[in-house]
Amino acid sequence: MEQIKGVAASKGISIGSVLLYQTGDPKVSKKQTNDVLGEIARFEAAVQTAVATLGELHERALQTVGEKEAAVFEIHQMMLEDLDFLEGVKDCITSESCNAEYAVQQAGGQLAEMFAGMDDEYMRERASDVRDVSARVVRVLCGCDGNPLEGVKGQVIVAAEDLMPSETIQMDTSKVLAFVTRLGSKISHSAILARTMGIPAVVGLREGFDTLKAGQEIIVDGFNGDVYLGPDEKTLAHFKNERDLYLEKKRVLRSLIGKRAVSLDGKEIEINANIGHPADIALCEENDAGGIGLFRSEFLYMESQDFPSEDFQFESYRDILQKMAGKRVIVRTLDLGADKHAPYFKLPHEDNPAMGYRAIRICLRQPDIFITQLRALHRASVFGKLAIMFPMITSLKEVLEIKKVVALVKCQLDEEHIPYSKEIEYGIMIETPAAVMATDLLAREVDFFSIGTNDLTQYTLACDRMNASLSELYDPRNLSVLRMIALTVRNAHKAGIWAGICGESAGDLELTGLYLKLGVDELSVSPASVLEVRNKVLHTDSREVDDSMLNLYTV
């Protein structure tokens, strides 16, 4: 038996035989042509065919994985209408007098390399979208755009160099036990699709992928990112038992839908969901989230080619509020910078972007952008229960400046006779040590705190959370971080406001009991974690939690 290590991309355990699936761009060679106009016409026809096919895939994805994941195929359609891509292909055909297939590969490859070289992980993953789109057009030109698993009998574990979103969604899921890939990351579209479809997946096997053989029996552990080749009887028995336990756990969690999150000692806590796109609401509903504790509005900017207009933003916020049907929706204002970028912002290069020009600093220095977003949010507020949250606060001065801008926006809307809710809650993220140490003052100016433990951990421990070599130092359970959370909650309650946690540690089941004991009012987690956290709360007695280490010193 051999064990190889990858990245856990989708939970679950599968046991089965390997199907080595050949993916990627069809192999084409450069051919000279005397009919440049004819090749351009072939290319344009192939693009139209590809657009039509993507429309069909979008409809199929809506039925199988929902609106959020289906959106990728709309994005691919837009890519095929992108002038840089279209003109790049035509210029290559014209300047090199070459065949359309070769030109598509060249232009698509250059565009993919541009994305792959970006600092932001989200943008780097968009390189796979470009490759997917290019490969689709080439397959149409070559006449080989078929079903990926056509002719496969029985159930298999699909092993591939990488999987494009279109390949993933076209597969007959009744035949797929799991996915394993040499490349890929947890945030690739195919990994997201695998999670949505409930198919276990391990990606990023790298050189370990070369040890896989067609027809070989393997175990895929989507919890730990392990793949076992030729497992012995003891290992098989162990993982069959783990698989059955997991399926039973999923059944039990579904039974918690509709129940309040009340601990054994009677403490109730609100459990909400973090989302980054209006389409994510379907997952919130499916997992019975109490509301949206964090809507990352920067994705509206990252998915746009230019600054999103007030009307565009208004429609997005209105859509969310209407779909949440009276449940509270907390929208975080623009949080670009650091690891999130939109090229048209033209943000300066920084040696230390995590501590640079980002989030509220951009909004206060470029108030036209800030006012546009705040106007859109206030206009949408009449359609539901809205709360607005401001990130990356370091001082009372910033909060007072924000309140002036909010007052200006309300004055504008009043003068224009545009209605907005008078019940909007205004809160701030507590994610810097500076904010923590001023929580007694800040609490007097806002309606709530939401603790962003990702950045709070990073700044407290002077540890870049994006630096893999420092992963052992980056610890949200560090005593100093937990004391900062305790101080924040204490000062919030003294001022009569509520305090929640929206960072990754909100979903850490080892900390749930401590958060209950500290009096945390709300936890906002990924939609898939809502029921797991609720289950933990229901089986926890916070009186039994030892929090003595937090009180060794007066804070």
189 in catalytic set: yes
349 in catalytic set: no
Q: Which residues face 218 on adjacent strands? A: 16, 229
365 is in an annotated binding site: no
Edge-to-edge strand ranges of the sheet holding 201-203? 2-5, 226-229, 217-221, 13-21, 156-160, 176-181, 201-203, 7-10
User: DSSP secondary-structure letter at 84?
Assistant: H
Cα 41 from Cα 515, distance rounded (Å) = 63
Question: Torsion over CA of 150, 155, 156 and 162, rounded to 10 degrees?
Answer: 50
Cα 272 from Cα 275, distance rounded (Å) = 10
Q: Is 220 exposed, middle or buried (0-12, 13-18, 19+ CB in 10 A)?
A: buried
Cα 519 from Cα 497, distance rounded (Å) = 12
Tokens of 224: 């730990």
**Phi, psi of 471, deg, nearest 5:** -60, -30
Question: Of the residues 92, 98, 363, 502, which is catalytic?
Answer: 502
Alpha helix segments (H runs only) across 297-415: 298-302, 310-323, 360-365, 367-380, 396-415
Cα 107 from Cα 102, distance rounded (Å) = 9
161 is in an annotated binding site: no
339 is in an annotated binding site: no
Cα 242 from Cα 134, distance rounded (Å) = 41
Q: Which of 545, 554, 555, 537 is nearest to 271 (CA)?
A: 537
Look-up of token digits 């096919």: 53
332 is in an annotated binding site: yes
Give me the sign of the Cα torsion angle 460, 463, 466, 468.
negative
Tokens of 331: 């929208």
547 CA to centre of own chain: 33
241 CA to centre of own chain: 31
Question: Of the residues 76, 92, 98, 189, which is catalytic?
Answer: 189
182 is in an annotated binding site: no
465 is in an annotated binding site: yes
Binding site as annotated, residues: 296, 332, 431, 454-455, 465
Catalytic positions, written as ranges: 189, 502
Binding site as annotated, residues for Mg(2+): 431, 455
Binding site as annotated, residues for phosphoenolpyruvate: 296, 332, 454-455, 465
